[in-house]
Structure 1
Amino acid sequence: MSEWVSTRLGDVTSQVQELVKVASGTEYPLLGVKWYAEGPFLREVVTSETSKATRFYRVQPGQFIYNRLFAWKGSFGLVGEDLAGSYVSNEFPLFDCDRTRLLPEFLSLHFGQRSVWSYVARVSTGTTASRNRWKESQFNDYEIALPSTAEQRRIVDVMAAVDAQVNALGAEKRRAASLLALVRNAYPEGTECALSSVVSSIQGGKSVQASDEKPQFGEPAVLKLSAIQLGSFVASEAKRLDDLTGYTDAHRVEEGDLLITRASGSFDRVGYATIARNVAPQTYLPDLIWRIQTKPEVCSTTFLAHLLCSPSVRSMITSSARGTASMRKINKALLGSLRLPIPSSEEQSKYVRQCDAVASEVEALDLELADLRAFRSALLASLLNQEIEIPEAYDALLEEVS
C-alpha cells in the first residue's frame, strides 16, 4: 500500500475571489450550498433593486465551495457545469485545487463524511451556535491525508459508480412515490362528511424537555416530529425520556395508531399522517403529534390515513395551517371541519388495497436505498482510512473498457 501524506489544505488549494460589482439592470443568479454534502444549487436570482449587496463573487465549474455558516452541517460541494455564470456572497468561499496533488472530486469526497462535519462543528466559532462559522484560515490549516493523484482518481471513480447506483435507485423510488400520490388521489366518491363526524377523538401528546439521545430498547421514549413522514412511520426517530411525570397510558403510542403532525417548521410537512408500525414499548406522543381515532363502522383507520396523504387533501390541510414562517400549525377545529368523501366500507377496502400495494413497493425501495447509502458511507470511510486499497490493475481494466 502506498504512503499517504498528511497535507495542509492551504498548500494544495488557493482561494478564488473574482469580485463583481453589482450593476443596475443586471441579474445575478446566486448559489446556496445544501447541507449533508448535497452540493451547491441555484438559490435565487437578484438584481440591484432586490438585493442590498454591492458586490458578489463569480463562480467557475470545478471549484470547491462551502458555506461558512453551515459547514458544521456538511454544507460542502463542487460547482458543476450547470452552475457556470453564477455568483455567491462572501459567506461562500471558493477554492481551486492544485490538480497535480489534489483532485477536487477527492476533496469533495473527504468533506462528505459525517466525521469531518463533527470535527468542523467542534472547531467552528461564533457568538451563538446558529452563527458559528468555519473560517477560511481554518480551512487552510486543515490537514488531509493524500495518496497519489492516480489513487485519488481510482477512489473517485469507484465512488462515482456507487453514486450512480444511489441516484438510479433514488429516481426509481421517486417514480414509485409519484405513482402512489396518483393512486391516493384517485379516491372513490362518497358522502361528503366533516372529518369530525367520522372520528371519535383527536388526542394530543405532552410537551416535554428531552435529550436528543436515542433510547435503548425498552427505555421510555418520546417521538420526534421526524418519525411522521408522508404515509410512513420511522420508529427509530425518538428521544429518550428520563421523566415520565404527567404521562399516562393515554399518551402511549400503540401499534396501528393513526398519527398526524399538528405543527412543523416546514410548511409542507404540516399535517403529515401515517400509521404507526413496529412501535417500541413505552413510546409516547409529544404535544406536536396527534392520534386520530376513527369510528370503525363509518371509516377505517387505513382508509383515512391514505386519504389524508392524497395531494388534494394535503392541499386543504396545508392551506388551513396558521402561524409564523418558522412554525406553521393546524388546530383541531380546522382539521375537524375538513370535508372528505366517505364511501362504503367495500369501496374503502378496495382503495386501501390499491394504495397499500404501491406503498409497499415504495417502502421496499426506501429500505434498499437506505442500505445502499449505508454501504456507500462505509465504503467511503474504508477507502479514505486506507482500510481498502484499489489495485493498480484497476487502471488497466479501465483502459480495456474504454
Structure 2
Amino acid sequence: MECNWPTVKLEELLEQNTSTEKLEPNKSYRLLGVRLEGKGPFIREEKPGSQVRAKSLRKVTSGEFIYSRLFAWRGAFGLISPEMDCAFVSNEFPTFKIDETRVFPKFLEMYFKQRWIWNEVEKYCTGTTKASRNRFKEKFFLNLDISLPAKEEQKHIVARIESLLAKIEEARRLRGEAVKEAEKLFELFLRRIFLNNNQYDLVKLGDKDYFELNPSKSELSGLDDDIDVSFVPMTCVDPELGKIKNFGIRKLFEVRKGYTYFKEGDVLFAKITPCMENGNVAIAQNITNGIGFGTTEFHVVRVLEKVLPKWVYYLFRTKGFRDIAKGNMTGTAGQRRVPKSFLEQYEIPLPSLPEQRRIVTYLDSFQAKVDELKRLQAETEKEIEELVPSILDKAFKGEL
C-alpha cells in the first residue's frame, strides 16, 4: 500500500501499558471510549468507583496509542490527548507507549485512519458476533507491519495531511455557515410576516368562518370501509423539509377508530414534545383517495375559502410561533402537548387571498433556495468523506 519505506513490526515501536489500579468506591474516575472511523478517544463519562463494574482499571497517559479491541475493525484507533491524561480504561482498550525516537505519534495516528488497515484488522478479529464481540487481540496488533520512513519524513507527511484536512474543514465550515445564515434570514422573514405584522387584520385559528380545527370523522359516514386511505405516523413527517416523506396504505375500517383524520390539503401540526419543537409540520398532499389518518399526536387545521393552506403551514414552520406554543404546553415531562385551546385562541395575521398568494410564492422561492443550499452541503459532505481516504492513501504512498 505504501512506497518503498522500511517495514517494521509494531512490537518494535510500542510497549504495552499493562499496569492496573484497584478502584476505590468513593473516588471519581474519568472513563474513556474510542470513536469509530479514526475519530479517536473521548471522555465517555465520569463516575465513582462504586458504580463501575470492574474491580480495576488502567490509567492512561498523554501521548499513548489506544484502540478498542471490540471495534478496531471499524477504525477505533487514536492518541491520548493531554486533556485525557490520567483518565481510565478497561482492558477492552489496550494502550501503548510509543518509541518517539523512531516514530512520530501523529504519523501513527494518521496511519491508522486508513480504511484498508481496518479491513486488514478484521481478518484477525476473533469472537462469536461481528457487531459486539469481534475482538482484535494485542498479539495480532503488535504483529502488524507498518512502512516507516525517516522521522523527519514522517513529520513532513503529517504536516501535509493536516494542511489539506484544514482546508477541507474550512470548506465544510463555510458551506455550513451559508446554510445557517440562509435559515436565519428565512426565520426572520417568517417572524416579520406572522409575529410582528401590524399590516393585516388578526383572525383566531378557532374562527369557524376561516378555519376548522381537528375535523370530525363524521364526514366519512357512508364511505365503504374497504376503501384505501393514507396512513401517516409521526416518523413519516420530515421536520427538516416540512413534508410527508412517505405514507402507508390502510383500509378505512383499520384506522377509523383510534387515529386522527384529515383530508387532502389539511395542515398537520405535531402537538407533542419534542416533535412540535422540531417542526413536524406538513400539508397533506397526494394522499390516497384524498383521505388520510395519522397519529393522535397531530392537530389538524383545515382552511376554508378565504385562506391558503400554505399560509397556516408557514405560520407553523416559524420557530418563533413554536416557541410560543411550547410556552403553552400542558402535561408532564416527556408527555407535554399543545392543547387545542391554544390554537383556537391564537391570532394569525390574515391578508387578502391575492396578498397571501404573493407572499407564499416568495416564501416558496426562498425555501427552495435554502433547500438547495442544504442539498449542496450534503453533496459537499459526501465529497469530503470520499476525499479524506484519498489524501491518506496518497500520503502513505509518498505521493503528497
TM-score by length of 2: 0.61
- Tell whether the 8 Å contact from 1:173 to 1:366 is kept in structure 2 after alignment: no
Cα deviations by residue, 1:194-221 (Å, 9 ceiling, x for unpaired): 999699xx94599xxxxxxxxxxxxxxx
Distance 1:335 1:379, change over 3 A: farther
Cα deviations by residue, 1:13-58 (Å, 9 ceiling, x for unpaired): 1212342322243221111111111111121111124333332222
Which of 126, 139, 142 is the aligned partner of 2:141? 139
Return the offset for 1:354.
4.7
Which of 375, 378, 382 is the aligned partner of 2:390? 378
Distance 1:53 1:349, change over 3 A: farther
For 1:184 and 1:24, locate their aligned partners in 2 and report how far apart those are by CA, in whole Å: 53
Distance 1:134 1:175, change over 3 A: same
Cα deviations by residue, 1:242-289 (Å, 9 ceiling, x for unpaired): xxxx9xxxxxxxxxxx9x9xxxxxx99x978799xxxxxxxxxxxxxx
How is 1:300-379 mapped onto 2 (pairs within 5 angstroms)?
A: 300=310, 307=317, 312=322, 345=356, 346-379=358-391
Larger radius of gyration: 2
- Tell whether the 8 Å contact from 1:198 to 1:299 is kept in structure 2 after alignment: no
Cα deviations by residue, 1:171-204 (Å, 9 ceiling, x for unpaired): 33444454456456555348776999699xx945
3-state DSSP of counterpart to 1:377: helix
AA aligned opposite 2:103:
L
**Unpaired runs of at least 5, structure 2:** 196-201, 216-228, 250-266, 283-299, 351-355
For 2:392 and 2:362, locate their aligned partners in 1 and report how far apart those are by CA, in whole Å: 45
Cα deviations by residue, 1:46-105 (Å, 9 ceiling, x for unpaired): 112433333222222222212222222222222222322322222211122222333222
How is 1:160-309 mapped onto 2 (pairs within 5 angstroms)?
A: 160-179=162-181, 182-183=184-185, 186=188, 187=191, 188-189=194-195, 203=230, 230-231=240-241, 298-300=308-310, 307=317
Distance 1:158 1:193, change over 3 A: farther
Return the offset for 1:158.
0.8
Name the structure 2 match of 1:85: 86
Return the offset for 1:359.
4.7
Name the structure 2 match of 1:214: none
For 1:22 and 1:311, locate their aligned partners in 2 and report how far apart those are by CA, in whole Å: 52
For 2:3 and 2:73, locate their aligned partners in 1 and report how far apart those are by CA, in whole Å: 31
3-state DSSP of counterpart to 2:102: coil
For 1:137 and 1:68, locate their aligned partners in 2 and report how far apart those are by CA, in whole Å: 11
- Tell whether the 8 Å contact from 1:169 to 1:365 is kept in structure 2 after alignment: no
For 1:124 and 1:150, locate their aligned partners in 2 and report how far apart those are by CA, in whole Å: 33
AA aligned opposite 2:157:
I
For 1:311 and 1:120, locate their aligned partners in 2 and report how far apart those are by CA, in whole Å: 52
For 1:149 and 1:229, locate their aligned partners in 2 and report how far apart those are by CA, in whole Å: 51
Alignment length, in residue pairs?
330
Name the structure 1 match of 2:122: 121
Name the structure 1 match of 2:18: 17
Return the offset for 1:131.
2.1
Identity of aligned residues (%): 23
For 2:370 and 2:78, locate their aligned partners in 1 and report how far apart those are by CA, in whole Å: 35
For 1:79 and 1:380, locate their aligned partners in 2 and report how far apart those are by CA, in whole Å: 21
- Tell whether the 8 Å contact from 2:29 to 2:48 is kept in structure 1 after alignment: yes
Alpha carbon RMSD of aligned pairs, Å? 5.4
